A and B are shown apart, each in its own frame.
Chain A
């Protein structure tokens, strides 16, 4: 978990496979949304794959994760089965949240994945609480808290950073800065656009990394995680990335120029990585084909799983409001 990544062929190809899985899963989700299988809101992770995959290399099974409504990438990188996520978006009872949450509320407590939050900034106080419990119980773990650049506008961002720093809580604050809070660009919503510098106000160490470079992301996250695990308190890591798709399926993108999008697409994290792998001696043509076909099968299976899943019974509507009563 700590130190520089050990980059052998297996790990190298695994990073690629994970990013491709996220990409193809998201593309399939988009398609299923247009035909009405997935409803409500759908926030795609396309373009940001390197962030989820790279950061997760530094997060272990004992660590907690809190994420946002754009959490499909993190959920897949965490190892939550694609079928369970797809079924959740279908609203089936076999979804990771029992069909009760949908795309924005993936939960898997067995993997310490604490959501899936739709209120921007709403997850940060939860992350602080999880870290506090771990500290009080002397449990050696950190809490990885994902949020976007929009969240740094929320009071809860500031309150959470302050409290985590004050009490030296093991929170790894991971800011996925994709330059837009829905339709408002960073420079239009932040007086200080260098997000990493905000940690200074809370006497917290911070770093920034190119979020389109999965290896750099992994290395930076390992260093940040090491700092947190060392007992020095929270760390703010800003990951500079870009979402290639609209904020959600319903966004006409009036707020950003098509040219800007194209410029960022030229830095597609998957394409960048594939381009680098041969020089490291890791990628041959059959490797990529095998990865694509394996991922295609996994995504198809996830859709089948979702299609076949049962609907929850309407009679159970009022379950999960309180803990079940044991006689």
Chain B
């Protein structure tokens, strides 16, 4: 069935002008076909004898269907057959520029981007947009962010009603009292270790390529998990000081220090940190940060940590000498990851290094054991796939 009109995909064979056994020459009309444009003659482009009619009058067939067989005279030009469209296949729709990085820190200065609907909803529900971090592309705050914030607020424990204005000041006071007591009562000693993060970061990049954007891991999660696993080897650092002695904790619940907008710090717990897979840990971590900043942290989360990890790497700090949160007996600090000269097999190479510090209660542990802990953290970070 030839293509006879601009967008023909099928035709109806209405009449045969020749029959089997007839001789045809080039240019002869062999049949009539009904198309969208009307009845059109079909010519043959080759000479010979009609051997067999394959399509009966009245039949509607797609273009390209063989209608009849013609035995050609020797030396006749070979007949052409309709072929499927030859032009290159359209490239599949090019995806938009890939999202650059996973969840970013909230923009410090400048107006947050909020969809019109989200703005209206936030106003209706009395939600403070400045406490939110949008999950939309580029940090845009959308309706789902407002709805999540509203849900979190509903879950938050019933607090004494306090005027919002007083909150930062009160928090500052509470933190100050705790820090002063800690420094007064706990004999702090400090250790530090420089850790080569090359293997960990390499593994992290590869791992993240296999994950969807929303599931990507931050390096901080590797640090937290390493700390948690290292604590299994030096459990006395995972104790709680009760009255006059340290009582080893049953579970390992790493408290993560989260800075709050408007100043202040809290360090809620990631429960059973050593038992969670990295992906789960990342999700829990994100959720915790979000709730911490929107005022949705549960009181149990604030009282459960068995050790605290604080990371000031984003602030550009090289090493941290933190103060222990009572009743914990240790606190781990991490500075920024920086490319520094490092010796590998006698050669000096550039490696991403991080300084890990441990501040510990000398009543409960000594330097030797604390050293083993930091060494364990280092070792764990050299085998990131096993975290």
* A residues adjacent to B (C-beta < 8 A): 27, 30-37, 39-41, 91, 246, 249-252, 254, 311, 314
- Closest-by-CB residue of B relative to A33 is B3
At the interface, yes or no: B151 with Cβ under 8 Å from chain A? Answer: no
B95 within 8 A of A: no
Tell which of B4, B88, B91 touches A249, judged by Cβ atoms closer than 8 Å.
B4
**For residue B35, which residue of chain A has the nearest CB?**
A250
Given A249-B5, A250-B4, A311-B87, CB of A35 within 8 Å of CB of B40: no
Residue of B nearest to A315 (CB): B91
The answer, yes or no, to whether B39 is at the interface (CB within 8 Å) is yes
* From A27, A36, A311, residue with most partner B Cβ within 10 Å: A36
> Judging by beta carbons under 8 Å apart, are A31 and B80 in contact?
yes
Q: Which residues of chain B are within 8 angstroms of A30 by Cβ–Cβ distance?
A: 43
Q: Is the CB of A32 within 8 A of B6?
A: no
Which residues on B sit within 8 Å (CB–CB) of A91? 87
Does B210 interact with chain A (Cβ within 8 Å)? Answer: no
Per-residue interface assignment for chain B, residues 23 to 44, with 1 indicating a CB less than 8 Å from any chain A CB and 0 otherwise: 0000100000001011110010
Q: Could you tell me the distance between the alpha carbons of A250 and B36 in the complex, rounded to whole angstroms?
A: 9
Contact A32 B87 (CB under 8 A): no
Pairwise interchain contact A311-B82, C-beta atoms closer than 8 A: no
Answer whether residue B384 sits at the interface, using C-beta atoms and an 8 A cutoff.
no
A37 to B82, CA, bound (A): 8
Compute how far the CA of A91 lies from the CA of B88 in the bound complex, rounded to whole angstroms: 12
Q: How far is the CA of A22 from the CA of B8 in the complex (A)?
A: 27
Chain B residue with the shortest CB-CB distance to A31: B45
Q: Indicate which residue in B6, B85, B87 contacts A40 across the interface (CB closer than 8 Å).
A: B6
Cα–Cα distance between A40 and B6 once the two chains are bound (Å): 5
Give B91's nearest chain A residue, CB to CB.
A314
Interface residue from A27, A35, A39, A251 paired with B2 (Cβ < 8 Å): A35
A250 contacts which chain B residues (CB < 8 A)? 4-6, 8, 35, 37, 40
Contact B40 A252 (CB under 8 A): yes
Interface members, chain B 28-65 (any A CB < 8 Å): 35, 37-40, 43, 45, 63-64
Q: How many residues of B contact A (CB 8 A)?
A: 27
Residues of A within 8 A of B85 (CB): 36
Complex: how many Å from CA A35 to CA B87? 14
Are B82 and A34 neighbours in the complex by a CB distance under 8 Å? Answer: yes
The 6 closest A-B pairs by CB, nearest first: A252-B38, A34-B2, A250-B5, A35-B82, A31-B45, A35-B80
Closest CB-CB distance, A165 to chain B, in whole Å?
Answer: 38
Q: Which residue of A lies closest to B27 (CB)?
A: A27
CB of B212 closer than 8 Å to a CB of A = no
Bound-state Cα–Cα, A34 to B42, Å: 9
| A36 to B62 CA separation, bound complex (whole angstroms) | 13
B90 CB–A CB distance under 8 Å: yes
Instruction: Please determine whether B80 and A32 come into contact, CB atoms closer than 8 angstroms.
Output: yes
Pair A252/B39 contact, Cβ less than 8 Å = yes
Task: Say whether B81 faces chain A, with CB atoms less than 8 Å apart.
Answer: yes
- Contact, CB under 8 Å: B4 / A34: yes
What's the least CB distance linking A314 to chain B, in Å?
A: 7
Q: Is the CB of B6 within 8 A of A41?
A: yes
A selection of 5 A-B contacts at a CB cut-off of 8 Å is A34-B4, A35-B3, A36-B63, A36-B84, A252-B35
Within the complex, what minimum Cβ distance (angstroms) separates A254 from chain B? 6
Chain A contacts for B81, CB-based, 8 A: 35
> Which one of B8, B37, B45, B90 lies within 8 Å of A251 (CB-CB)?
B37
